[in-house]
Amino acid sequence: TQVGPYIPQQLLAMGAQASVWLATGPDGAEVALKVARGEDGKRGIAREARILAVHGHPNLVRSLGSDPGGDWIALERIEGLTVDQWARDQSPEAVVAVAQKLVDAIEYLHAQSIVHGDIKPSNVIVDLSGEPHLLDLGVAVEPGEQVDGFRGTLGYAAPELLNGRPPSSATDLYGLGALLYTALTGRTPFVAPDPAALTYLPLVSLPASPAAFRPELPASLTQLLLALLARDPDRRPSDLGRVRDALDRASQTLPAPPVLGMLEEREELRRAVVGAADGEPRVVVLYGSPGSGRRTLIAETVEYARREGLPYLKGTDPQAALEQLRVANRPAVLVMKAAYKGARQLAEIALKDGLRCLLLLHADRPLSGLHGAIQLTPSPLSVQDAARLARLWGADPDQAESWWRQSMGLPIAIVGRIRAFRRQRGLTQTHHSQLPSESRRILEFLRGQPRMRCDVVHLATELQMSEHVLLDHCEVLFAEDLVEPADDGAMLAIVQARSVM
């Protein structure tokens, strides 16, 4: 059946409001023909035709003609792949280069007071020469237009759209962040078995770090993606010029520290950040043995909280912290060791009185009876995590399973074995001066003991430390494979096959 002067040849895509066909025109040239399905589809095609008739950009699809009533629009046919398909075999640098051109196209639209409204991977085609083309302006917002109802695609729609707010330039930035996250990691920022969950997940949680799925990404690129995906539109980059500058710097930074394992714990902590940011009291007890990953989870959570706008309260005095929380005009995040006098009482008061905060308690064991608190312990790394870590650090991944079994998945122990492997091959060296002063004290004391080993209780007494503090200072020695637990952890011993310069 002929549509205007075009003859559809092959169905390319079918959507709720329109179908897209490969079609031929009177001169035999191929076009992408979008045909409306219903009145909403006609309005969308008419809107797209109006915009493309007067606005053009090298990275925007071109209109070749349209029906005045919105029944159809003929667009240039672009041979290529959607950006997520194209990115599967591309380096981060190549994806960044495409992103910079997308930024140019989106910035052009915003300069005309037009919001695209549906930025997602399927709306960007990368042609055979590597040029991206932004498609589908059917739900774009024109200057002065009042928007009723939801516009966009779940999984790429900004949280404020899910709350009923209209599209804006900030929602386009969120869509760009979600598109790049997908292109670089192979997954959307939020993943759920039930698509309906995407209507609320962006409101109650935060995306996992892209480094969890693509550890070689530059740290500045990871930070940019998370900034673009901020829940609060006011906390996203203020304009696309800043995004372009950040993309320019991306290749100049090293990868972020690897994010391995503990996915469920990390998700729980991100939800705690959102709860606190929304004004609810959140107390999290992070407990486990030294080197289990508690410090890593706490540091990541503080970073997420600060990105959500929570100020970090410094200090270790629970009473002073309580006074600050009572007068604070916005939620805050604070970290405290559960062993500190008054720390538990602070947690109880925060929960009972509904103080707006995220309190992270660093503990050796769960705090029983602390009702309303979230109790989390880091799960051991998997053998796959150990292999990934070995590859990242230039060690032999074939030995990862052996290291994993020896360490029982304890992160600090796996790191120690990888570092020992690198030292044995002359890839790295440990210098005494590089160790923290308290760690040096422990090492020197052990060297003076018979057989270079000592009971933990006796060692803590001699060094005037609590056992907890002693083991905290031992973490770096465990990581460097200089000291190891012995006799089920009752003793500490120097690894005698190792020496430090």
Q: In this structure, is residue 339 part of a structural domain?
A: yes
DSSP code string of 185-245:
HSS-SS--SSGGGGGTHHHH--PPPGGGT-TTSBHHHHHHHHHHT-SSGGGS-SSHHHHHH
**Cα–Cα distance measured from residue 231 to residue 308, given in angstroms and rounded to the nearest whole number:** 8
Q: pLDDT, tens digit, for every residue of 152-206?
A: 999 999 999 999 999 999 999 999 999 999 999 999 999 988 989 999 999 999 9
The values of phi and psi at residue 339, to 5°, are -75, -15
The pLDDT of residue 440 is 85
Q: Are residues 134 and 214 in the same domain?
A: yes
**Cα–Cα distance measured from residue 424 to residue 404, given in angstroms and rounded to the nearest whole number:** 19
Domain end among 47, 76, 105: 76
**Cα–Cα distance measured from residue 490 to residue 315, given in angstroms and rounded to the nearest whole number:** 32
Q: Are residues 231 and 282 in the same domain?
A: no
Cβ pair 501, 491 in contact under 8 A: no
Q: Where are the alpha helices (DSSP H) in 409-466?
A: 411-424, 437-447, 456-462
Q: In this structure, is residue 230 part of a structural domain?
A: yes
CB atoms within 10 A of CB 356: 19
Q: In this structure, is residue 184 part of a structural domain?
A: yes
**Cα–Cα distance measured from residue 429 to residue 500, given in angstroms and rounded to the nearest whole number:** 8
Q: In this structure, is residue 25 part of a structural domain?
A: yes
Domain end among 250, 276, 298: 250
Q: Are residues 335 and 426 in the same domain?
A: no
Q: Are residues 315 and 345 in the same domain?
A: yes
**Cα–Cα distance measured from residue 307 to residue 86, given in angstroms and rounded to the nearest whole number:** 31
Q: Are residues 71 and 94 in the same domain?
A: no
Q: In this structure, is residue 1 part of a structural domain?
A: no
The pLDDT of residue 343 is 94
pTM for the full predicted model: 0.84
Helix (H) or strand (E) holding 335: strand 332-337
Domain end among 360, 376, 392: 376
**Cα–Cα distance measured from residue 283 to residue 347, given in angstroms and rounded to the nearest whole number:** 6
- Grouping H, G, I as helix, E, B as strand and the rest as coil, residue 178 is helix
The pLDDT of residue 431 is 62
Q: pLDDT, tens digit, for every residue of 273-325?
A: 999 999 999 999 999 988 888 989 999 999 999 999 999 998 778 999 999 99
Domains held by the chain: number = 4
Find the CATH number of the domain harbouring 67. Answer: 3.30.200.20
Share of the chain above pLDDT 70, in %: 95
User: What is the sign, positive or negative, of the torsion defined by CA atoms of 320, 321, 322, 323?
Assistant: positive
Q: Are residues 33 and 57 in the same domain?
A: yes
**Cα–Cα distance measured from residue 242 to residue 244, given in angstroms and rounded to the nearest whole number:** 5
Q: Which residue range forms the structural domain that includes residue 296?
A: 263-376
The pLDDT of residue 51 is 96
First to last CA, the chain: 82
Nearest to 234 by CA among 174, 141, 170: 170
User: Which residues fall within 8 angstroms of residue 197, CB to CB, at 6 or more apart?
Assistant: 190
Q: Are residues 325 and 337 in the same domain?
A: yes
Q: Are residues 121 and 178 in the same domain?
A: yes
Length of the chain in residues, anyone? 501
Low-confidence ranges of the chain (pLDDT < 70): 428-434, 468, 475, 479-481, 487-489, 496-501
Q: In this structure, is residue 499 part of a structural domain?
A: no
User: What is the sign, positive or negative, of the torsion defined by CA atoms of 169, 173, 179, 180?
Assistant: positive
Find the CATH number of the domain harbouring 101. Answer: 1.10.510.10
The pLDDT of residue 88 is 96
The values of phi and psi at residue 109, to 5°, are -60, -45
Q: In this structure, is residue 371 part of a structural domain?
A: yes
Radius of gyration of the chain (CA): 28
Name residue 200's amino acid.
Y
Q: In this structure, is residue 118 part of a structural domain?
A: yes
Q: Are residues 66 and 98 in the same domain?
A: no
Q: Are residues 99 and 202 in the same domain?
A: yes
Q: Are residues 150 and 291 in the same domain?
A: no
Q: Are residues 210 and 274 in the same domain?
A: no
